[in-house]
Amino acid sequence: MNDLIKSIRTRSIIEKYGFRFNKSLGQNFLIDDLVLKTIIEAAEITKDDSVLEIGPGIGTLTLELSGNAGKVMAIEVDKNLIPILSDVLKDAGNVKLYEGDALKVNIKEAAGDFLNFPITICANLPYYITTPLITKFFKESIDVKNIVVMVQKEVAERMAAQPGGKDYGALSLLVQYYSKPRIVAKVPPHCFMPRPKVDSVVIKLEINKRPPVEVEDLELFFSIIRDSFNQRRKTLSNSLKSLKLSKEELNTAFEKSGIDPIRRGETLSIEEFARVSNEVYNLRK
């Protein structure tokens, strides 16, 4: 099925149900077969796998997933799409449709005994909830194997950024603590209906079996990272005053971790942030 045919099919489904796109939900439906295939291949899905899809739209990716995976659960927040999805997916016996807000849903409770964990997460994510959703997937111990998602190009570049670049920041370090990010493909606006005003990217986050660094206090570690990037032009010694350590204690932490306090957060690797965090933790004991 070429893109024109898929576009016509998508439009006919939308017209059949009188569906109206909801801009506040960031709805852009994927209509490109090649991109669908790219997502499936990047996720390395087999019949032994369970897949969670966020924001299935009218079920285009859901159908592809159902043909490759053992089980698929799709979470959709827009109640107006539920009857469309129920119709499109009526012959897909291995798909569970769940109406709800993925940011608020307890995924394990919603899945029940339907999904087999660890799961793979695939989605054409609404761009406005990309960061909070990714954070949820990492921090709620959902037991995820891989995440393959469509996101805004600039967000993908931030996820995969290395120290020293303008894209490197707190999101980079969050993603790279929990996973190995790899940009799989760039996706232009004409691959969607309606066309978004930005370029998109398929990115794969292969979940780390073990974190790349050992930290004594994970909350403190990420707090130091956030503070270091709140005002990027500030030096570390100024950014980390929020730790409420004396100047002498803070200098001791920098000295023991081998970090020059006049450096800026954007120059530190994840290993260096871990060293600073652990030294601060030791001072607080």
Domains of the chain (ranges, CATH numbers): 3-207 (3.40.50.150), 218-284 (1.10.8.100)
In the predicted structure, residue 1 carries a pLDDT above the cut 60: no
Mean pLDDT of the chain: 92
Binding site residues, as ranges? 28, 30, 55, 76, 101, 124
Rounded to 5 degrees, what are φ and ψ at 49? Answer: -95, 150
Is the four-CA dihedral 227, 102, 204, 199 of positive or negative sign? negative
Report the C-alpha gap between 58 and 13 in whole angstroms.
8
Q: What is the pLDDT of residue 65?
A: 96
Q: What is the pLDDT of residue 173?
A: 98
Identity of the amino acid at 282:
N
Q: What is the pLDDT of residue 2?
A: 53
Q: What is the pLDDT of residue 203?
A: 98
pLDDT level of residue 7 (50, 70, 90 thresholds): low
Dump pLDDT digits (tens) for 91-120: 999 999 999 999 999 999 999 999 999 999
pLDDT level of residue 179 (50, 70, 90 thresholds): very high
For residue 170, give the nearest of 127, 213, 228, 257 by alpha carbon.
Answer: 228
Report the C-alpha gap between 279 and 63 in whole angstroms.
50
Q: What is the pLDDT of residue 241?
A: 87
In the predicted structure, residue 9 carries a pLDDT above the cut 80: no
- Region 152-165 average pLDDT: 96
In the predicted structure, residue 125 carries a pLDDT above the cut 90: no
Min mean pLDDT across 1-15, 18-32, 221-235 is at 1-15
In the predicted structure, residue 13 carries a pLDDT above the cut 90: no
237-255: b (≥16 Cβ within 10 Å) or e = bebbeebebeeeebebbbe
Q: What is the pLDDT of residue 232?
A: 84
Q: Give the distance, in angstroms, between the CA of residue 264 and the centroid of all CA atoms in the same chain.
A: 26
In the predicted structure, residue 70 carries a pLDDT above the cut 70: yes
Q: CA separation (Å) from 32 to 5, 10, 35, 105, 213?
A: 10, 11, 6, 29, 39
Report the C-alpha gap between 215 and 276 in whole angstroms.
10
Q: Give the distance, in angstroms, between the CA of residue 161 and the centroid of all CA atoms in the same chain.
A: 15
Binding site residues for S-adenosyl-L-methionine, as ranges? 28, 30, 55, 76, 101, 124
User: Percentage of residues in the chain with pLDDT exceeding 70?
Assistant: 97
Q: What is the pLDDT of residue 25?
A: 79
For residue 205, give the nearest of 171, 159, 242 by alpha carbon.
Answer: 159
In the predicted structure, residue 193 carries a pLDDT above the cut 90: no
User: Percentage of residues in the chain with pLDDT exceeding 90?
Assistant: 78
Is the four-CA dihedral 218, 220, 225, 230 of positive or negative sign? positive
Q: What is the pLDDT of residue 26?
A: 80
pTM recorded for the entire structure: 0.91
Residue 208, classed as helix, strand or coil, is coil
